Structure 1
């Protein structure tokens, strides 16, 4: 597939124009004109780039790319090394941040819901495209049972701030660094909130608003969108796509 067509396919699929973001979404670094092999992953780290080079990839597709709002624009140090590696090997870099979080079937939030068997999914935020989602479990879970489900699915033991509420029927979630949505979830009477990261104030919100809180890992909760998009490209267009998971405890 040509680079131009792949870019068009991804933009039509992920609709980056719909949601404001803190980085450019789409083709961030131009490489080969024709793409045969794609490597997908969470973050365009040097380790992922090196693996893409080893696999003779023509393109990288990631959730966390480059050129974030407010960052130093100079190409020095780690940033220079990463970009130099991509340019030297003529590898295209496609990155989609929030558009990959919110896609209704392939996105990080949708994929996590599928893995956790969450039903009746709705937007947590009203009146606009919601980054965070809410739903319910078919059968109520104890806080410990949900922690175990997260560990079984993600391969990582979550941090749990448990409150006196004995069972969890309703749940809200936002993969990655979505801890700020706990207050909105609690205000809607939801039993538990799952995200990737934790802030100091998150614990106080959980305790004082009576909502179980789970920090299950930024990387761990966001492995599944890029993987799902790669599988879609392989199935729909016959492209050779490989997901590479660079371990990250955060």
Structure 2
């Protein structure tokens, strides 16, 4: 089929415009560029979503026949020196060779009230978030507050439920004797939000990673900390956004999950 006369799907500009309108990247101070990171073909019919623009995901998108790849973790971050060598060369070369558009949204994809990582993690875990702005905390109000639809009498019981629903072990620093009525969460590597979660009145804080100081804060403040995996906590936003935009623009959408123990 001659692409010049093909009106199926949408243009690259239409896809980028729909994503920018939905996610509002201009509202965020982020660690890298949001939006189109690598330009591919002008016409888009099939969008693949995933968590990170790894070589494995790029190759899987190529095999799936993708015209565009939407991810949470893109290729370019503040502090990278910008040279296309080694692993970076391999990823960019593969995208360019197959004319695939790479679109990445970091904090905007965390924050979206219905389709973002925080909202979708809560949906997957059976939690209800409190209304903004009261139900938000931390830098740029990225942290969420809410409760579980299923009551738990301990943080240990909540942690077991998170393990079951995410299909992977979690790290728990418990707060014995405290019922986890009010849950605070922020997906990914948001361990630095723990103090803000404590100040916001949380009984337990859930994020992807834990660093050394948080174990002490949990024990000293009596607020439990659950680290459920960076990748595991951010598996749900990109496919939710991509599926929404695919329906809007008449695209085919495929979510490809590349396992990651981190």
Give 1:52-67 correspondences, 5 Å limit.
Answer: 52-67=61-76
3-state SS, counterpart of residue 76 of structure 2 = coil
Q: Does structure 1 conserve the Cα–Cα contact (< 8 Å) formed by 2:206 and 2:227?
A: yes
Q: Does structure 2 conserve the Cα–Cα contact (< 8 Å) formed by 1:176 and 1:218?
A: yes
Q: Specify whether residues 60 and 144 from structure 1 end up closer, same or farther in structure 2 by C-alpha distance, changes over 3 A only.
A: same
Q: Does structure 1 conserve the Cα–Cα contact (< 8 Å) formed by 2:122 and 2:129?
A: no
Matched, 1:8 2:20: no
Aligned length: 249
Q: Does structure 2 conserve the Cα–Cα contact (< 8 Å) formed by 1:140 and 1:167?
A: no
Q: Does structure 2 conserve the Cα–Cα contact (< 8 Å) formed by 1:150 and 1:216?
A: yes
2:59 counterpart residue number: 50
3-state SS, counterpart of residue 113 of structure 2 = coil
The root-mean-square deviation of aligned C-alpha atoms, in Å, is 1.4
Question: Distance in 1 between the 2:205 and 2:250 partners?
Answer: 38
Question: Distance in 2 between the 1:232 and 1:225 partners?
Answer: 11
1:137 counterpart residue number: 148
- Unaligned runs of 5+ residues in structure 2 are 1-9
Normalised TM-score (structure 1): 0.96
1:183 counterpart residue number: 195
Matched, 1:81 2:90: yes
3-state SS, counterpart of residue 84 of structure 1 = helix
1:234 counterpart residue number: 246
Question: Distance in 2 between the 1:15 and 1:186 partners?
Answer: 29
3-state SS, counterpart of residue 148 of structure 2 = strand
Shift of residue 99, structure 1, vs aligned partner: 0.4
2:113 to 89, 94, 104: 104
3-state SS, counterpart of residue 151 of structure 2 = strand
Question: Distance in 2 between the 1:138 and 1:78 partners?
Answer: 43
2:170 counterpart residue number: 158
3-state SS, counterpart of residue 194 of structure 2 = helix
3-state SS, counterpart of residue 49 of structure 1 = helix
- Unaligned runs of 5+ residues in structure 1 are none
